[in-house]
Amino acid sequence: MEQIHSAFSLSHRITATVTDNGSNFVKAFKMFAPTEPNEEEEDEQDVVFTDMEELLGVGTTEGQFSLPPHFRSATAKCAALWTKASRSTVASEIVDEICGKKMIVPTSTRWNSFHDALSRISDNSAHDLNTLCARLDIRAPTEREHLFLKEYCSVLKPLTVALDILQGEDNCYYGVLLPTLETLMSRTLALSDGLSRMTANLPGVIVQAIKTRFAPVLESREALLAALTLPKFKVRWIGAAERREAARALLIAECRTLPHDEEPAENKQREVAAHSSASEADFFSFDEEEDATSFSADAEVLEYLRSGSELDVLNRFPRVRAVFMKYNTATPSSAPVERLFSLGGIVLTPRRNRLSDKRFERLLLMRYNHTFCADVE
């Protein structure tokens, strides 16, 4: 680390280093940090240390290395609290007594669990956290760290809501993705004004990361059409008037490109009924029929944009429904597929690794229809 600092001329600019609660990190910084007269030694119980001289391949004196002052991050203190509360029944009862709720331990499979776990801690007052940590004999977050946790959770809250929406299995179409991203970015930037210097740049960093990661989606014509044909979105999520007009024009142009046989059946019947006979209709067939079709598509889109937000309204607008069926077939998240294949354990076990497709499908139906089966019984 010292070589990296020297290579980039950072030795006199680094004021501190923040790490997690790993014992090797703690031992390294305690051995090579500059000593202070009133430095308080931290008690480390039941911790296995590694010889840093052997690890670094150094056989000389300790004075050869010098690391900057070391601080444990706020999340490392939260991790110590999660570990203590999850491994000890007595500690869990103490948490329930002081906080009134159990601690949420984050899992590696869902990022939202980390935010929820931090929120459960930051929702408690600094006084309650100090009392709790004193009872559990662990280091408590400082007042500044407590403020950081609260601001961090408030900034990341829109992101957790967006992830929950996109990870849903019911009524989650591809058209949900673009409005979710746009709303997420606007709501995240709106939180910038009430933040301290510790997290003031966090909303901008999140928005920039979203723009970089989802640049193809944000500029995708297919994603825009999928969102426009979802009745609960339409053009409501688009802020600028120019973008709304461009979106309407795009949807109208897409409806105009539909084949003639996809034109609404009731419109064809009205056209035939308007004439006295089929022969007369064929006789008065002019070149303006194409313009009439275009006008019909324009009227249908405009009427659709003034309709309700229920999905059933698509039945009244066949052209819009055809566009909806074309662009909303994909899902915006892999979560439903991951849940489907969470049954891999029963497939890969020695007793069931020769399941036929029919048997596997039956097991899936039995698992996901257990509520229905219980009602029937």
Q: Which two tokens stand for residue 237?
A: 């999520």
Cα distance between residue 196 and residue 291, in whole Å:
59
* pLDDT at residue 153, as a whole number: 93
Q: Is the pLDDT of residue 64 over 80?
A: no
Helix, strand counts (H, E) of the chain:
21, 2
pTM: 0.64
Residue range 260-269, pLDDT digits in tens: 544 444 444 4
pLDDT at 265: 46
Considering only CA atoms, give the Rg of the chain. 31
Residue 159 above 90 pLDDT? yes
Query: 70 pairs with which residues across the strands?
Result: 17
> Counting beta carbons within 10 angstroms of the beta carbon of residue 31, is it exposed (0 to 12), middle (13 to 18) or buried (19 or more)?
middle
What percentage of the chain reaches a pLDDT higher than 70?
67
CA 245 – CA 223 distance, rounded (Å):
17
Q: What is the pLDDT of residues 166-183, one digit of tens each?
A: 887 767 788 999 999 999
3-class secondary structure, 224: helix
Beta strand ranges found along the chain (DSSP E): 17-19, 70-72
CA angle 73, 79, 85 (to 5 degrees): 145
